A and B are shown apart, each in its own frame.
Chain A
Amino acid sequence: MRNADFLLLCALLLAVAAACKSGPPVQFPPGTRVLWLAAADDVPTLDPAVGYDSASWAYEQAIFDTLVRYGDANVELQPDLALSWEISKDATRLTFHLRRDARFSNGRPVTGADVKYAIERVLKPSTRSQGAEYYRGIAGAADFVAGRARQVAGIELPDPYTIVFHLTGPDPIFIHKLTMPFAAAVPREVTEKWGEDFSHHAVGSGAFKLSQWISGQRLVLVRNPYYFAGGLPKLDAVVELTGVNEELQWLKYEAGEIDVSSVPSPEFPAVMKSPRLKALTIHNVTVTTNYLGMNCQMAPFTDVRVRRAFNYAIDKEKLLALLNGRGVVARGVLPPGLPGYTPDVTGYPYDPGRAQRLLEEAGVRKGFAPVLWMRADQTMLLLAQSVQQDLALVGVNLVLKPVAWGPLLDAVRQPHNTQMFMLAWEADFPDPENFLEVLFSKRQWRSNNDTFFYDPQVDRLMAEAAPIADLARRFELYREAERIIIGQAPWVFLYHPVNYLIRQPWVHDYVINPMRPTRLEKVWISPH
């Protein structure tokens, strides 16, 4: 037994060593321009109705097209399947004129009906799409969801290349909801053929098409010969190797086996000290807030004093030190860079004395041991231990519960289940609604409002703000809602991360978008 264990350990280490050394397992003919990437986890899905995480979206947006999209490095609207569009003054009608040369990778032309079908598929309750919420404002969506109508009456197709959306009320940011992969054109004949397995047989009109996907090993995309934009994509193929953790990614990067890698914390200082490596880094302030949620329905977090105490007790600067300063301290919900963000929120400074007093007032006894749920990931564990150290100083014995990503998301959605959890939210579109409504409204209980926070005034302010197109007035209402949320402290506001990647010298035009994964169609590789 003892020897067997020792041998097993040796085998494990050897396997790791072998994985570092062995070359990539896929072969391409010489001269093929391939971008090699790596990730720890498998891509969850390639079905645009299902995916709602950055890993899925990265490849969905390579395989599928939406009516409109964001720029490569910004969140300005750009034509994609639609060449032009008009929005009525009252923001209740949107008309899109589609390009006529778009084709799915099976050769069939893309029409407005494919977009309509895609949105109906997302809305259909049996799809269980988390994107459904975003399209409920289309006229007739309610009847369609309830099964009273066979199609959504508010999506009109005057001709195959024109699509008109009628909304039940004004929604000035509806067009942004059409940039999400949920609204990407999908070929009905293919989705109906494969049903739930469409993810593994994805067919879209994007720059790339799915070539091979072996779970836990690799995902291979190749260029879509029917892609409408001439000369794009500039790559012949993209390979993502899966099951490669951060540290291994770094070793593979150094060996020249992958083209773009994240920079693990321990290596970061050395990278920034080397002028050669530093010049190869790409960074961007992502529109993200990392937070520690406290379940407002579970004692003692029902008491706002306890929630505030935790905000005072945790030193966010220490977390940033563990991330080599790659981020800024969060003082509120909205990240800098998001329209509607205001720098004058004060948040909670680090003040353990005050935290202790608040805990005493609230009657929390010494040795209180709440459970913190978090992703089982080495960096997250490190941050959680820093939080654990801080809370120990005010007499709270935090218990850590690291779980896998999927189970964590399931767990936090159950009421009265997770006392505390560590998560992050990244903006889907540039508007405060995407943070405040999604994360704090009562409608989002059991979906994304995982602290089960409810404040009637906040809900009222957000309902009032949603249809307002005048940005100054709109943002003012959202700011008011955010102020109340900060005061009620359902989160410990932690930090807004800055994303760092490093590329090989032969990789060009790889840019980070603040709200979307990197688009790959313009990336190119010089001979090396």
Chain B
Amino acid sequence: MKRIGAMELIGLLMVLSLMVIAATAPLIAPHDPTRAVAPTYGEPAPPTRAFPLGTDELGRDVLSRIIYGARISLTVGVAGMLVTMTIGVAIGLAAGFFRGAVDVVLMRFTDVMLTLPALLLAMALVAVLSPGLVSILIVIGLVSWTTVARVVRAEAMSVSQRDFMLAARSLGASPVRLIARHLLPNVLPLIVVMAALSTSGTLLLDAALSFLGLGVPPPAPSWGRMIEEAELYFRVAPWLAAFPGLAIFYAVLGFNLFGYGYLRRQGR
């Protein structure tokens, strides 16, 4: 194994820093994110010493909201990624390993899903399920597994044809054992990359849904919702949209750097 690269390391540190912020939010956030703490109720206030990132029109501290928002966004990002990966990896492995009819059915189904615009599908599903953390996770999983499935299938197909697979097969290993002990470990590096990239994709999808008013309901301070609420004030208080925007940028960049860095280390 090669030494960890700079890109990967920076990405990893960025992601870790976010996780620390999310975990220690109650300790480091200067204020309650849902309470009116600024005296300037009714009008957003620009950054000051007391409120380094300013306050919104409801008198809430933007910094505290971004810190607490890390919890929601990371939860949604990671949990959404887990749902996405579970569906995508299961379908991709099955299609790539069994081939034939199984492959045809699963992949044509994936193609059909790919024709549906993800954001539109997500909006329709959220509208039916009513916004909430669990329904957001389900929706994100349901709309974003397709790419994962295709990539994992291609990798599984190529791994399946290697000699060690043939050897294991001729020794009489069951399909379950073949997949679990031989196929999966060899596809794993790719899965890690896909997971990192899918987390950032999930973060963006969540932000888009929240921006459209379909995310985690208020007063929970998700980054996407913060931008949505700032839309009205975009011209008079641009900082309200800029800071949560930077937070999303930071998180997505972190996961992507880690993912691509890891990919590079695998020599692909």
Across the interface, do A382 and B58 meet the contact criterion of CB distance under 8 Å? yes
Partner of B43, one of A247, A269, A389: A269
> Please, which residues of chain A bring their CB within 8 A of the CB of B164?
none
A5-B42 CB under 8 A given contacts A265-B232, A389-B219, A402-B213:
no
A264 on interface, CB distance cutoff 8 Å:
yes
Q: Across the interface, do B232 and A388 meet the contact criterion of CB distance under 8 Å?
A: no
Asked if A15 is an interface residue, CB under 8 A from chain B, the answer is no
Contact A2 B204 (CB under 8 A): yes
B residues 194-212 with Cβ under 8 Å of A?
Answer: 197-198, 200-201, 204-205, 208, 211
Q: Is A392 an interface residue (CB 8 A)?
A: yes
The reply to whether A266 and B208 form a contact with Cβ atoms under 8 Å apart is no
Main secondary structure of the interface of B (DSSP, over half): loop
B208 adjacent to A9 (CB under 8 Å): yes
**How many residues of chain A have a CB within 8 Å of chain B?**
35
Interface of chain B residues 53 through 107 with chain A (CB within 8 A): 57-58
Interface residues of A in 463-485 (CB under 8 A from B): none
**Contact A388:B42 (CB < 8 A) given known A1-B147, A5-B208, A382-B58:** no
Q: 18 A-B pairs, CB-CB below 8 angstroms?
A: A1-B147, A1-B201, A2-B204, A9-B204, A9-B211, A247-B231, A247-B234, A264-B232, A266-B44, A266-B236, A267-B235, A322-B42, A322-B58, A379-B232, A381-B213, A382-B57, A385-B218, A389-B58
Asked whether A318 is an interface residue with its Cβ less than 8 Å from the other chain, the reply is yes
- The answer to whether the Cβ of A17 comes within 8 Å of any Cβ in the partner chain is no
Comparing B5-13, B19-27, B33-41, B184-192, the segment that makes contact with chain A is B33-41
B75 to chain A, nearest CB (A): 19
Nearest Cβ on chain B to A502's Cβ, whole angstroms: 16
Chain B residues near A266 (CB-CB < 8 A) = 44, 57, 232-233, 235-237
Q: Does A386 make an interface contact (CB < 8 A)?
A: yes
Q: How far is the CA of A385 from the CA of B213 in the complex (A)?
A: 14
Please state if A5 and B234 are interface contacts (CB–CB under 8 Å): no
Q: Count residues of B near A (Cβ-Cβ below 8 Å).
A: 35
Q: Answer whether residue A19 sits at the interface, using C-beta atoms and an 8 A cutoff.
A: no
Q: Tell me the chain A residues, 250-276 only, with Cβ under 8 Å from chain B.
A: 264-267, 269-270
A400 touches B218 (CB 8 A): yes
Q: In this assembly, does A146 line the interface, its C-beta being within 8 Å of a C-beta of chain B?
A: no
Is A417 at the interface (CB under 8 A from chain B)? no
Q: Chain A's nearest CB lies how many Å from the CB of B237?
A: 7
| Residues on the B chain within 8 Å of A84, using CB | none
| Minimal beta-carbon separation of A482 from chain B (angstroms) | 30
- A 266-296 to B, binary, CB cutoff 8 A, 1 in contact else 0: 1101100000000000000000000000000
Residue from the set B41, B144, B197 with the largest chain A CB neighbour count within 10 Å: B41
Most chain-A Cβ atoms within 10 A of its Cβ — which of B35, B41, B208, B232? Answer: B232
Chain A residue nearest to B256 in the complex (CB)? A2
Complex contact A318–B232 (CB within 8 A):
no
Which residues in A have their C-beta under 8 angstroms from that of B172?
A: none
User: Does the CB pair A381–B236 fall under 8 Å?
Assistant: no
Question: Taking CB as reference atom, which chain B residue is nearest A2?
Answer: B201
